[in-house]
Chains A and B, each alone.
Chain A
């Protein structure tokens, strides 16, 4: 039997009712990942529907500012606007194979919800997306996009009414309807096999990157970390290559010593949230912190994928945090100097490298995962940045 843990993190901390469903999911996934037809079908969708491979763009102006050769992995150019579609297409095919007729998902900023709604529409499956009420207001445009594609968006009014509460509700829905429903989790979090499965679906990012780099050695890979799916997606291919430094950038919000941040790996303690053991932002009584903050709704999460927790412990990945201010600097810089408007999430990786010159590739190039585009952030950004 394979381990359900990454080091001391991960596991399956779920109610008994879900144990069958997780076992079924794991078995189906193990079988399908080797199935040539399934892989062919997924590859075809990724290519013709989602728009893979995404370009690896040599950002010359950014390179000049940083002082080393820097490439952007353009996941922002994918259909629905972010890397999330890599995972939802894989999982929706998996759901169909398991004869599940209904899809549930959670979403924070709305990108995973939109990617799920698109994949479900494509397969003709009914889809319910849980979204914190606060987030439905912050990301009204994405709510409309999901609805337009036929998904039902259910606002969640419990707890802090954000991503973590949406996950709670989605899990509860799954418990109630486990016989005919598949839960498409959007990040490398949750009970096993989700962290591994979502990583595998996202690892196409890193595989492509390495192929596209050709003979150019890769000295540094940087990505933002909320739950951590785009980061795991690009890191996975490089983990066994010691010449490549890996940098995960969390959201420091107003600053990691202010309490208003989402830097789970830097400031969290070991706990059990959403079915897995990992680092968690919690108080001394084991209550999850309600005041997690980031300028980007997609990083605004008090947990983190268990594999990241393990990579932090083993020091294979260096985790740092960029403040709202640094992220906004990255956001503006890339817009002004490359003509690319990044998502506020991805802006954390750019902003961090722009403001911290000590971290640089020893040799070869740097690749930044540009996990999503900034269209969804326009309204929010226009209120912060006066032009």
Chain B
């Protein structure tokens, strides 16, 4: 069992919900990224997702895309991100860390060498939104050998055998894309999404965390009634961009704490 699976198993035993936070590496700066990771570790956030910036993302919304472009302009890339994780692990940092990235910046020389690099740096797994189940067999084999998790995404419209296969082969947790509007009637969709998340939990072999469009503590709490936890991405990225341009500000710390309070 790797660090992330262990943490989520403990939460399950304690009947607690999980909070995962997403930050783009290098936006506003690598220093702020480091401060966020340290603060999350100290304050009891369960997982940090570090976004690897990519020049041509197709799966990101406008907030995270803009954030990635800012990071790229500063010249941030995978090597520095792995360097940061390696250094923090060397200091004994315990919080589970996964990389969230488009396929291309990770793919490089192939999944086997990626698995080695990630594992050596102390990363626990990846989320690759543009690597669906059908394209992930090679990566999963390479990751299995290094005890890294490949977290897969499912949506309210994922159905049939694919849905079952995703729910059963996602390791760490299942990322449920709780996007409103996919299922049709907008008024009903919040209820439909909750139902789909509950259904997913019955089939999944790992906890089901919901993400996309969770803008603050209220959304987070609401989503936790159906899911095993939530992922907050754009809202935090935007907050850091506005309120923590040079250093992690008290205001951003408070925002993170308010999310924790809503979930725990």
Contacts and interface: CB of A to CB of B under 8 A. Distances in A.
Interface of A: 4, 11-17, 19-20, 158-159, 164-165, 168, 171-172, 175-176, 178-179, 271-275, 280, 282, 285-288, 290
B59 A159 contact: no
A14 B58 contact: yes
Specify which of B102, B135, B152 lies most central, judged by the most chain A CB atoms within 10 Å of its CB. Answer: B135
28 contacts: A11-B135, A12-B135, A13-B103, A14-B130, A15-B153, A16-B153, A16-B154, A16-B177, A17-B155, A19-B158, A20-B158, A158-B65, A158-B66, A159-B56, A168-B56, A175-B59, A178-B182, A179-B182, A179-B184, A274-B58, A275-B58, A286-B78, A286-B104, A286-B107, A286-B108, A287-B54, A287-B77, A287-B105
B245 interface: no
B162 interface: yes
B131 A288 contact: no
A222 to B, nearest CB: 30
A193 B131 CA distance: 16
Contact of B77 (A4, A172, A285, A288): A285
A12 B134 contact: yes
Interface string B225-258: 0000000000000000000000000000000000
Interface of B: 54-59, 65-66, 69, 72, 77-79, 102-108, 129-132, 134-135, 152-155, 157-159, 162, 166, 177, 179, 181-182, 184
Given A14-B132, A159-B69, A288-B55, 17 more contacts: A15-B58, A15-B129, A15-B153, A16-B129, A16-B152, A16-B153, A16-B158, A17-B157, A17-B177, A165-B56, A179-B184, A280-B104, A285-B77, A286-B54, A286-B107, A286-B108, A287-B55
Contacts of B65: 158
A24 to B, nearest CB: 11
A258 to B, nearest CB: 21
A175 B105 CA distance: 22
A232 B54 CA distance: 29
B105 A285 contact: yes
B162 A271 contact: no
A13 B131 contact: yes
Nearest to B78: A285
A168 to B, nearest CB: 5
Given A179-B184, A274-B56, A285-B105, A19 B77 contact: no
Specify which of B65, B69, B130 lies most central, judged by the most chain A CB atoms within 10 Å of its CB. Answer: B130
Nearest to A160: B55
Contact of A19 (B66, B79, B162, B184): B162
Contacts of A17: 155, 157, 177, 179, 182
A314 B132 CA distance: 28
Nearest to B60: A172
Contacts of B130: 13-15, 272, 275
B58 A172 contact: yes
A13 B108 CA distance: 15
Specify which of B66, B106, B132, B166 lies most central, judged by the most chain A CB atoms within 10 Å of its CB. Answer: B132
A20 B132 CA distance: 11
A357 to B, nearest CB: 39
Nearest to A16: B153
Contacts of A288: 55-56, 104
A326 to B, nearest CB: 29
A282 B131 CA distance: 19
A14 B136 CA distance: 12
A286 B104 CA distance: 6
A273 B56 contact: yes
A285 B103 contact: no
Contacts of A178: 182
Nearest to A4: B134
Specify which of A11, A16, A176, A178 lies most central, judged by the most chain B CB atoms within 10 Å of its CB. Answer: A16
A273 B56 CA distance: 8
A78 to B, nearest CB: 30
Contacts of B57: 168
B213 to A, nearest CB: 12
A285 B56 contact: no
Specify which of B56, B78, B152, B157 lies most central, judged by the most chain A CB atoms within 10 Å of its CB. Answer: B56
The 8 closest A-B pairs by CB, nearest first: A286-B105, A285-B77, A15-B59, A272-B103, A287-B55, A171-B58, A272-B104, A16-B153
Specify which of A12, A20, A285, A288 lies most central, judged by the most chain B CB atoms within 10 Å of its CB. Answer: A285
